[in-house]
C-alpha cells in the first residue's frame, strides 16, 4: 500500500516569498491533516479536512497560510508571505476515519516537507 506522498521534500525561500506544499493521502482516506513541526517541538495541527470540508483550522495563521483539498483527495498548503518563524517541517497525514463516531483509526504520516526561510 502506497503511503502519504508529499512534495517538495526540501525548500529554501527568502522571507516574504511564497511557497506551496502538495500532499496526496493514502487512497480512500477521508481525513487529511496538515501539521507544522518546528525543530525541537511536537507537531502542531494546522488544519484538518474531512473529505473536502474543513473540520478544524483554529491554529492556522489565516493571514498568511491557506489550504485547500479540492475533490476530497489531494491537498495543497500555501504560505504567503513567509516569515522566518515559518521554518519548520510541514507534515501531511491521513486516516480512514469518517467524521464523528469512527473510533480506532490510525493516522499515517508522510515524510514531510522541510522549509527553511532565510
Partner 1 sequence: AQSVSQHNHHVILSEAASLELGCNYSYGGTVNLFWYVQYPGQHLQLLLKYFSGDPLVKGIKGFEAEFIKSKFSFNLRKPSVQWSDTAEYFCAVMDTGFQKLVFGTGTRLLVSP
Which residues of the shown chain bind partner 1 in the complex (CB under 8 A)?
31, 33, 35, 40-45, 48, 55-56, 91, 93, 95, 97, 99-112
Least spacing, CB of residue 57 vs partner 1, in Å: 11
Contact of 96 with 107, CB cutoff 8 Å: no
Contact of 71 with 30, CB cutoff 8 Å: no
Least spacing, CB of residue 51 vs partner 1, in Å: 13
Least spacing, CB of residue 107 vs partner 1, in Å: 5
**In angstroms, how far apart are the furthest CA atoms of the chain?**
44
Amino acid at each position: 500500500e502506497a503511503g502519504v506522498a508529499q512534495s517538495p521534500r526540501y525548500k529554501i525561500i527568502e522571507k516574504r516569498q511564497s511557497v506551496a506544499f502538495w500532499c496526496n493521502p493514502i487512497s480512500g482516506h477521508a481525513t487529511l491533516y496538515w501539521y507544522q513541526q518546528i525543530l525541537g517541538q511536537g507537531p502542531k495541527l494546522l488544519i484538518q479536512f474531512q473529505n473536502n470540508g474543513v473540520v478544524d483550522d483554529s491554529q492556522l495563521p489565516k493571514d498568511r497560510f491557506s489550504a485547500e483539498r479540492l475533490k476530497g483527495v489531494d491537498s495543497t498548503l500555501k504560505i504567503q508571505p513567509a516569515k522566518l518563524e515559518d521554518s519548520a517541517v510541514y507534515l501531511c497525514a491521513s486516516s480512514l476515519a469518517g467524521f464523528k463516531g469512527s473510533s480506532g483509526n490510525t493516522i499515517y504520516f508522510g515524510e514531510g516537507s522541510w522549509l527553511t526561510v532565510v
